[in-house]
Structure 1
Amino acid sequence: MMSLNNKTIYSVKKAGLVFLLITPAFLLFLLFVVVPVIQAGHYSVYRWKGLGPLEQFVGLGNFFRMFGEDIFLTALWNNLKVVILSLLLQLPVAFFFALLIGRKRFPGSMLFRGIYFFPYILAEIAIGIIWKFIYNPEFGLPTMIASFVSGGETKIALLGSTEHAFTAIFIVIFWKYIGFHMILYIAGLQNVPDELEEAAIIDGASKLQVVFHVIIPCMRNTIVISVFLSVVGAFNIFDVVWAMGQGGPVHSTETLVTYLYNFGFKRFAFGYGSAVAIVIFLICLVFNLFYQKYIVGESK
């Protein structure tokens, strides 16, 4: 009986400790995530300028207007392009670099890791401003290279071209985040047993076969995390794009978040902006639920 009471008291204390530790995080999540989402959902069904009471109820009118706007569709397509290019270009290159400098220690390996990771720790707004100077049509790097090759004065205005501005900005995004994913893959490589690689090589497997049949399967969880962070991050890009052109020229580099800011906050259309925010939230939520069920669930 005494033993049962002790176990009961221990269980109550343990539950109380867990509740005490979880409560602050839960309250912060409730205050800064749940409440704003509910408020945005409420505002999204009104035509509201941010001042005065909510009187002009429009129902789903803001959402119908949104998907009828060519600029919104351009912004959505730009986000999807970032997702596609990240998955097909950025992550494979990051994995390749991880294989080069992450498997074995060599003189300068830590220096290379630091160089690749350094852009990630810089503020996005600072990186956007720096690269805006690099792309400057008067004295920027592309202009200097073109002038040197042509032998005359040639000005390259990448950020002023509707055809090339998105590519120029994606290069910056690629440069900033490739080090982060590379570090993730380097960490994942530490969990690949050397014995498996050695056994595969003894059995006659080539280096490429070892990568695809040994290393990648062992790194599945790391790759799953990397892909998830890349996709969700692609739908929340703002600072770099804003610093380099605020979605211009002619809205050619607009993303969902810059569109939200341009057509919501700057024009005092807070009801419409809230509708855009809800769409971004739903896109990330649906992707998260799908990913957790069909991708993360299979990797367990």
Structure 2
Amino acid sequence: MSVYRWRGFGPLEDFVGLDNYVSVLTNDVFTGAVAHTMIIVVGSILLQLPLGLAVALLLNRKMKGQGLLRTIVFVPFVLSEVIAGVIWFQLLQPRYGVVDTALGSVGLDGPAQGWLGDPDIALWTVLIVLTWKYLGLPILLFLAGLQGIPNDLYEAAQLDGATWWQVQRNITIPLLGPTMRTWAFLSMIGSLQLFDMVWILTRGGPANATTTMVTFLVNEGTNRQNYGIAGAASMILFVIALTMAILYQRLVLRRDTKEAGR
């Protein structure tokens, strides 16, 4: 399909070779979508990794209502993307939304065009919503990893006079390394495939400020019936995702697989 000009009707007859690929790669909207997707990939890891680790360390301590707290933290992750997107779309409405109302109660004003209507902050707003939505997964994985760290190591460190930060830096984080790297891989692949939340919150707007590679190809195919262009965009997305996955496997996960094979 990606090497034909096709509107969705009739047989594939109008062969155009690589013209669709050239059109996609020279399209400013698509190149912007690639940049937005990479910002989401990197931003999700940079935000969710420290937050997930901090919350996991907190929930790993014995406290009253520990099970309930763990459930509450994990609820956003299991919530449907459609439901979460609609909720946040209403919360972020300009002037009358809950967020702007809360800010107004303390004398602050939200953006004049709204959190999702200002091209300068719309992508960062979406990134914050995504962090809230998917933070439960790293917390769950890190909690599972913490359960596998022997208490003897912590007790020995305390006897040696190690501080809390030294314990985390020299014991917890190194032993959680394989779990962190595996989660980062899952987060990267999920961010490359991101569609639902962005489509519900902004549909790629305003002025294509939040367009991702997936929203671009869906918009071209479903809304504009440019199925050849959409096919080319999907193949480019596949190549980018495959390349990143192979590089991550070779450069980051190789050590874990070698250690597992010993």
TM-score, normalised on structure 1? 0.81
180 and 154 in structure 1: CA distance in 2 versus 1, 3 angstrom threshold:
closer
* 1:167-246 paired onto structure 2 within 5 Å: 167-246=124-203
Report what 1:279 is aligned to: 236
5+ residue gaps, structure 1: 1-42
Q: 1:59-82: CA deviations, max 9, x gaps?
A: 221111112111111111111111
1:89 matches 2:19:
no
Cα 1:224/1:159, change in 2 over 3 Å? same
In structure 1, the partner of 2:20 is: 62
Q: For 1:16-55, list aligned pairs within 5 A.
A: 43-55=1-13
Residue aligned with 1:58, SS = coil
Q: Root-mean-square deviation (CA), in Å? A: 1.8
Q: Which has the higher helix share?
A: 1
CA separation of 1:151 and 1:82: change in aligned 2, threshold 3 A? closer
Partner of 1:40: none
Is the contact made by 1:147 and 1:154 (CA closer than 8 Å) also made in structure 2? no
Contact 2:100 2:109 in 1 (8 A): no
1:167, 1:79 → 2: CA distance?
12
Aligned residue runs from structure 1 range 127-146, under 5 A: 127-146=84-103
Do the aligned partners of residues 62 and 105 (structure 1) sit closer, same or farther apart at CA in structure 2, a change above 3 Å counting? same
Give the distance between the partners of 1:61 and 1:151, measured in 2 at CA: 51
1:290 partnered with 2:247: yes
The one-character-per-residue Cα deviations of 1:136-174 (angstroms, maximum 9, x if unpaired) are 114202321343233999966111111111121111101
Number of residues of Structure 1 aligned to a counterpart in Structure 2: 257
Q: 1:55 to 1:88 in 2, by over 3 A?
A: same
CA distances 1:247-286 after superposition (whole Å, capped 9, x unpaired)? 1111111011111111222111111101111111112211
- C-alpha change, 1:142 and 1:184, in structure 2 (3 Å) is same
Equivalent residue in structure 2 for 1:74, among 18, 27, 32:
32
CA contact (8 A) 1:128 1:243 kept: yes
Distance 1:153 1:293, change over 3 A: closer
Aligned match of 1:37? none
Distance change in 2, residues 1:208/1:105 (3 Å): same
Distance 2:85 2:108 in 1: 30
Ranges in structure 2 where 5+ consecutive residues have no aligned partner: none
Separation (CA, whole Å) in 2 of partners of 1:245 and 1:264: 18
- TM-score for the superposition, normalised by structure 2: 0.92
Once the two structures are superposed, residues 34-56 of structure 1 have per-residue CA deviations (whole angstroms, 9 ceiling, x without a partner) of xxxxxxxxx11111112111122
Equivalent position amino acid for 1:46 in 2: Y
**Which residues of 2 match residues 104-119 of structure 1 at below 5 A?**
104-119=61-76
| Aligned residue in 2 for 1:261 | 218
Q: 1:154 to 1:171 in 2, by over 3 A?
A: closer
- Bigger Rg over Cα: 1
Q: What are the within-5 Å matches in structure 2 for residues 95-106 of structure 1?
A: 95-102=53-60, 104-106=61-63
